Amino acid sequence: MADVTMISGADAGAVADWLAARIGAALAATAGPVAIAVPGGSTPFPIMEQLVARALDWSRVVVWPGDDRIVPEDHAASNTGKIRALFEPVGAQVATLSEDARPPHFAVAWLGMGDDGHIASLFPSTDPQVDDPRMVRRLTPDPLPPEAPFDRLTLTIPALLATDELLFVIRGENKLKVFEAAARGEHDLPVARLLRAASRDVTCFT
C-alpha cells in the first residue's frame, strides 16, 4: 500500500494549482501527449473550471473520464459531455469511453469517492478486482442510484493504477471517515482495494 498524503482545507483553486503543477511537469518531461483521468459528479467541475484557466500546453493533454453513464453526451447525466465542454475549448483532447478503449498510462488519475466507498463506477456490488484483465467495463450498479439510473462505463482498478500519481478530492465527514478507514486497511470496499494495490503516490485533498 502506498503512503497517503492528506491535505485539509483546500479550495478548488488550490487543487487546480496542484493538478496544473503535475500536468506541467509531465508535459516538460516528454514531447508527446500527456494523459489524465478525471472524475464526474458535483465536486470536480468547479476544480476543472479553475484548472482550464491555467497556462498549460493543453494541445498535448488527453483527458479521460474515469467513468460515465451510458447516455448521449448532451444528456444532463453525461460526464463526458461536461468534461468535453470544459477542456476542448482550451485545446485538450477528450477521450470517449468504450468497452474496447485502451487507456494509456496517466500522469494523474484523479478520483472521487461515494459514501459506500465506490470509485469511478466501481460500486461494492460490482466486486472490482485489482487483477481485472479489462481496462474498461460496462456494468450496472445495484442498486441503481435514483439520481442517475443508468448503466455505466468505467475504468477498472488496473487502469486507474496505471498512473504516476493518484489524487482524491473528498468532501464531507462521512466520506472522509470511509476513506481514512480504507487507508488504514480496515475494510474491503473498492477504494480500499485500490489503495491496497497502489504503489504510486496518493494525495487526498479534503
Each residue's pLDDT tens digit, 127-149: 999 999 999 999 998 888 888 89
CB atoms within 10 A of CB 203: 20
Over residues 181-205, the pLDDT tens digits come to 999 999 999 999 999 999 988 999 9
| C-alpha span between 37 and 39 (Å, rounded) | 7
Domain boundaries, position 62: 4-205
Q: How many domains does the chain have?
A: 1
Which pTM was predicted?
0.96
| C-alpha span between 177 and 206 (Å, rounded) | 11
